């Protein structure tokens, strides 16, 4: 009888920790954003971001290097540098990561 009660307590504790693990996992797992993302056109207009700069921003967010962006958009790498520099100014950012973070916070990027 004593061994049975010990196994019961161990089972109850195990079930508790399984439930706790599931709950914590659900709380800490990032929830996907709505699939119906719409750009914040008002923010884009107020910041003066051009359609080409939006294309560059999309490619920056995908992790593309300047040369890759230049090839994909059929522009020179120097033009890409200019667009990136303007995005830094318009979004008041010091680096690419900050530009992407601020653009996402403003719903310019998904």
Cβ 46 vs Cβ 107: under 8 Å: no
Residue 22 covered by a domain: yes
Task: Kindly state whether residues 84 and 63 are assigned to the same domain.
Answer: yes
Which segments of the chain does DSSP mark as H helices, in order? 2-28, 41-47, 51-61, 66-73, 77-90, 96-105
Task: Kindly state whether residues 91 and 57 are assigned to the same domain.
Answer: yes
* Full domain range(s) for residue 21: 1-31
- Phi, psi dihedral angles at 68 (to 5 degrees): -65, -45
- The pLDDT profile of the chain, 110 residues, written as one tens digit per residue, is 566 788 888 999 999 999 999 999 888 887 766 667 889 999 999 999 999 999 999 999 999 999 999 999 999 999 999 999 999 999 999 999 999 999 999 999 98
pLDDT of residue 4: 75
Task: Kindly state whether residues 48 and 96 are assigned to the same domain.
Answer: yes
Token pair in block for residue 77: 């790498």
CATH number for the domain that contains residue 63: 1.10.10.10
Residue 110 covered by a domain: no
User: How far apart (Å, rounded) are the C-alpha atoms in residues 34 and 37?
Assistant: 6
Task: Kindly state whether residues 27 and 55 are assigned to the same domain.
Answer: no
- Phi, psi dihedral angles at 65 (to 5 degrees): -80, 165
Give this prediction's pTM.
0.67
């Amino acid at each position: 009888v004593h061994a049975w009660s010990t196994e019961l307590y161990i089972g109850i504790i195990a079930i508790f920790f399984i439930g706790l693990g599931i709950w914590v996992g659900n709380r800490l797992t990032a929830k996907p954003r709505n699939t119906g993302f719409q750009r914040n056109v008002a923010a884009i207009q107020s910041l003066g971001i051009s359609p080409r700069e939006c294309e560059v921003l999309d490619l920056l967010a995908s992790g593309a290097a300047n040369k890759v962006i230049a090839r994909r958009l059929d522009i020179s790498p120097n033009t890409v540098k200019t667009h990136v520099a303007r995005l830094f100014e318009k979004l008041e950012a010091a680096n690419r990561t900050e530009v992407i973070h601020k653009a996402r916070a403003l719903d310019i990027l998904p």
